[in-house]
Amino acid sequence: MPFAKKLPAALDKQLQQLRDIMPPGMDVVIREFNLGNGQRAAAFFIDGLANKELLGRDFFAPLLDLPPQKFYSVQELMEDTLRLGEIQLSGDLRFIVDMVLQGLTALFVDGNREAIIVEAIGWQMRSVNEPSTDVVIRGSREGFVEALRINVSMVRRRLHHPDLIVEEMNIGRYSRTDIAIMYVSSIVDRRALSLLRQRLEQIDIDAVLDSGYIEQLIEDAPYSLFPTIGITEKPDIAAGKMLDGRIVVLVDGSPIALTLPMLFIEGLHSAEDNYTRFYSASWARLVRTISLILSIFLPGFYTAVVSYHQQLIPVKMLLSVAASEINTPYSVGLSMLIITAIYEILREAGVRLPKPAGQAIGIVGAIIMGDAAVNAGIISAPVLIVQALTVTASYVSTQYIDAVTLLRILFLLLGWWFGLLGMLMGSLFMLFYLCYLQSFGVPYLSPIAPLDTLTLPDTFVRFPRWMLQWRPQRLSWNRRRMRAGQRPGRGHIDA
């Protein structure tokens, strides 16, 4: 039966329409009762979403204690009787049902064509704790949870400014999922914001159960290995991104926030870089850059050099490698491909199994199986060492771990089949593609290509905080981040 647009005045007809739309179930509660003055009324809420304790104290108790002298309208009840936080009136049954399905409670009173909608949400949720992905040594330990309003409040607690704007949308024909778009209006790139709104409004899908649904429906390059939308579980990172001109998208039911536009250089940064001394942050970024290069190219490079370019290897090392490889039944390229496939199987098993079992699988696979394979002569020790170093390096930049896995296999095949020339051609193609890639109209390799000299101090290294005066050129029209001339240590204290 289609939704009725307007409520009738009689309570019996209201409840009949309501039951036609929402058949009684285990959690659908329609409780009829009489107000203190004898008027018939009914409360409509979802058991498990509504806070029963709050309803009993601040909703039912005041209504049952009404003096019997007069007839009450819903407007008078809303203004003089109910003591809950957010209260509104509505005569649209479609809107009323939507609100109740989100955890609110509706009050129908006989003789009134409008219902009172009160906020008494009380579902169980995970407490705020440290996120499992964005781990830091120094900095905030708070992580996003699955409740949208709590996530919004954690970001707003860090940015006490009226320019912080929160726009709300509702996406999903069946899930009716709330989406929050957060940005700083005096800093944000308005072109990216307009493009985001346009893409979100075009989404027509049954349900949005996680922010990953939104990410896949609004990204610029859906077939790209490299992500063009950033993700984070930390509210301080989200606040920092907005202060650079980016936009944060929060999805109800998901602890993962989306940040956009995304630049390639972000994958080499950490929130901790902003909280530590500049030389420590710079060294950490250089380590991440080197690790990213090793995790992509090292297996293919080793295979190409051993197979085609032995003249590049020192003689003593070449003799050691030859002695290790002579006893193995497979070529270097095939051995590397086999050990890569075995590692991916072990990694997937370790992720899907319960944590204690997953750790045991990792230990068994990394130590026992690797040692047994070398002793049995199936693979050589250098191949195992290269794979272990590659796997370790791939976890340094978690934003790119999926892209790195596929690129590693691709460059391994290029090095196995075509040598260093094939890897060089593949590297040039990857570089050209990264230069072509965009995220919401912003070049992916910015500020390197196109070059922005004012923001280079915050790329592969990080200069002192007092030198980072400018926001990225392509992310914000308001570029000045801080006043110049704030270098510390210039003043002196008179004796």
Distance between first and last Cα of the chain: 86
Q: What is the C-alpha to C-alpha distance for residues 347 and 91, in angstroms, rounded to an integer?
A: 55
Q: Which range, 77-86, 405-414, 467-476, has the best average confidence (pLDDT)?
A: 405-414
Compute the residue count for the chain: 495
- Tell me the average pLDDT across 68-91: 80
238-266 residue pLDDT tens: 999 999 999 999 999 899 999 999 999 99
Instruction: Kindly tell me if the per-residue pLDDT of 487 is higher than 70.
Output: yes
Q: How many CB atoms lie within 10 A of CB 437?
A: 16
- Tell me the average pLDDT across 297-309: 93
The closest alpha carbon to 387, from 332, 336, 321, 448, belongs to 336
Q: Please work out, in degrees rounded to the nearest 5, the angle formed at the alpha carbon of residue 83 by the alpha carbons of 82 and 85.
A: 115
- Global pTM reads 0.85
User: What is the overall mean pLDDT for the chain?
Assistant: 86
Instruction: Kindly tell me if the per-residue pLDDT of 236 is higher than 60.
Output: yes
Per-residue DSSP letter, 266 = G
- Residue 393 carries which side chain, given as an amino acid letter? A
* Structure confidence at residue 473 (pLDDT): 80
Instruction: Kindly tell me if the per-residue pLDDT of 493 is higher than 60.
Output: no
Q: Are the C-beta atoms of residues 78 and 66 closer than 8 Å to each other?
A: no
> 27-41, 335-349, 363-377: which has the minimum mean pLDDT?
363-377
Pair of tokens at residue 277: 């001394």
- Tell me the average pLDDT across 60-88: 80
Q: Are the C-beta atoms of residues 409 and 340 closer than 8 Å to each other?
A: yes
Instruction: Kindly tell me if the per-residue pLDDT of 4 is higher than 50.
Output: no
Pair of tokens at residue 485: 């001339």
Task: Please report, for the chain, the start and end positions of each structural domain, with discontinuous segments joined by +.
Answer: 11-118, 148-262, 278-439
